[in-house]
């Protein structure tokens, strides 16, 4: 098998610049457009009209206003070639939501049973949000503890920086394209933590092995060789992981697509950050230690 000899460390400033641009765009999207949370997080009602027949979006919006719902968000959907609507409102009372749906069906001439109404109260949404934040916090703490004990604290901190990079960019893309954040998205973000960390650990493990008794080259040069040694493995792992996820994204239903979109972005960004963010940051930090600082000076061109 051919061995790669790519100068990742020599081009680390380019990779940092790419990450900086992606992060700035993501922060801008989150700040100015914000995330669109599903009703599972904030409470509300979703009305799905599978077959809209000849009813237009304007007529549907007017029907909700006539029923007393002023802020209904009406979106057109097409499933299997059939045009329909997805309507979101902030009504959190199931009885009121069903009454509104009956009035809308009457105003538009659609059969009442074609409107599927789902209402979630604000308390349930708050519980979901708290559970998601708790899961995310515990995951990060567990990662910090494990990597610090198994390797060293500098690896754990740079790994967390890479994970934050991955999550921020994934959420930024969600904000940029206006994709709704659902519990499936949160599940995908937690899965991304695992995949991204796996890639980073593979690189760190090889760096740790190769750093034993290091005297014939700089730490930066050794880290670059280590990345090239595991590059094929990382590429194969990422590609085989992404294939089923991309298939889910292309052919899965709406529920699976929420999960697959976040996972597709996260897997790609996570594979990049292991090589382009975590490893260079760790190598730069290690070269501040006296031993490796001396090696860097000795083998400087």
- What is the model's pLDDT at position 213? 84
CA dihedral 5, 23, 282, 289 (to 10 degrees): 120
| Helices (H) then strands (E): counts for the chain | 11, 6
**Cβ atoms 40, 183 nearer than 8 A:** yes
Instruction: Identify the bridge partners of residue 93 per DSSP, sorted by sequence position.
Output: none
Q: What is the DSSP string of 119-147?
A: EE-HHHHHHHHHHHHHHHHHHHHHHHHHH
Question: Is residue 142 scored above 70 in pLDDT?
Answer: yes
* Helix, strand, coil tally for the chain in percent (to 5): 70, 10, 20
Question: Is residue 271 scored above 80 in pLDDT?
Answer: yes
3-state SS of 222-266 is HHHHHHHHHHHHHHHHHHHHHHHHHHHHHHCCHHHHHHHHHHHHH
- What is the model's pLDDT at position 300? 77
Which residue has tokens 């690896």? Answer: 155
Segment 195-218 shows an average pLDDT of 88
Q: Are β-strands 180-181 and 36-37 bridged in parallel, bridged antiparallel, or unpaired?
A: parallel
- What is the model's pLDDT at position 281? 96
Segment 251-257 shows an average pLDDT of 71
Question: Is residue 130 scored above 70 in pLDDT?
Answer: yes
- What is the model's pLDDT at position 255? 65
Question: What is the distance between the alpha carbons of residues 103 and 91, in angstroms, rounded to a whole number?
Answer: 15
- What is the model's pLDDT at position 166? 92
Average pLDDT, the chain: 87
- What is the model's pLDDT at position 215? 86
Segment 118-145 shows an average pLDDT of 80
Classify residue 48 as exposed, middle or buried by CB count within 10 Å of its CB (0-12, 13-18, 19+): middle
Q: Are β-strands 73-79 and 44-49 bridged in parallel, bridged antiparallel, or unpaired?
A: unpaired
Structure tokens at 93: 């009372």
Least confident range from 117-126, 139-148, 240-249: namely 117-126
Least confident range from 91-105, 125-139, 153-167: namely 125-139
**Beta carbons within 8 Å of 189's beta carbon, 6+ residues apart:** 136, 167, 170, 171, 262, 266
Question: Is residue 254 scored above 70 in pLDDT?
Answer: no
Provide, rounded to the nearest whole percent, the portion of the chain with pLDDT above 70.
97
Question: Is residue 113 scored above 90 in pLDDT?
Answer: no
pLDDT bin (cut points 50, 70, 90) of residue 80 is confident
Question: Is residue 40 scored above 80 in pLDDT?
Answer: no
pLDDT bin (cut points 50, 70, 90) of residue 181 is confident
Specify the higher pLDDT residue, 243 or 300.
243
- What is the model's pLDDT at position 253? 66
Provide, rounded to the nearest whole percent, the portion of the chain with pLDDT above 90.
36
Segment 229-249 shows an average pLDDT of 87
């Amino acid at each position: 098998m051919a061995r790669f000899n790519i100068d990742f460390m020599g081009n680390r400033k380019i990779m940092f610049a790419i990450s900086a641009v992606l992060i700035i765009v993501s922060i801008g999207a989150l700040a100015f457009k914000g995330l669109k949370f599903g009703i599972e997080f904030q409470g509300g009602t979703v009305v799905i009209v599978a077959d809209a027949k000849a009813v237009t979006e304007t007529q549907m919006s007017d029907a909700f206003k006539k029923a007393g719902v002023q802020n209904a968000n009406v979106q057109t959907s097409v499933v299997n070639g059939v045009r329909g609507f997805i309507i979101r409102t902030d009504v959190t009372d199931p009885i009121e939501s069903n009454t509104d749906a009956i009035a809308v069906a009457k105003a538009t001439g659609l059969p009442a049973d074609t409107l599927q109404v789902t209402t979630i109260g604000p308390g349930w949404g708050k519980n979901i949000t708290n559970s998601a934040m708790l899961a995310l916090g515990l995951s990060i703490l567990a990662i910090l503890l494990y990597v610090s004990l198994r390797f060293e604290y500098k690896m754990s901190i740079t790994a967390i920086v890479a994970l934050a990079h991955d999550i921020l960019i994934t959420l930024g893309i969600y904000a940029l394209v206006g994709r709704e954040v659902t519990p499936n998205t949160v599940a995908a973000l937690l899965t991304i933590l695992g995949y991204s960390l796996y890639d980073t650990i593979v690189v760190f493990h090889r760096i740790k092995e190769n750093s034993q008794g290091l005297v014939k080259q700089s730490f930066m040069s050794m880290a670059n060789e280590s990345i090239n040694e595991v590059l094929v493995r990382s590429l194969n792992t990422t590609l085989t992981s992404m294939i089923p996820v991309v298939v889910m994204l292309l052919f899965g239903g709406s529920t699976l697509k929420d999960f697959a979109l976040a996972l597709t972005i996260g897997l790609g960004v996570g594979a990049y950050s292991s090589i382009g963010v975590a490893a260079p940051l760790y190598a730069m930090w290690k070269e501040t230690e006296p031993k490796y600082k001396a090696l860097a000076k000795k083998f400087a061109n």
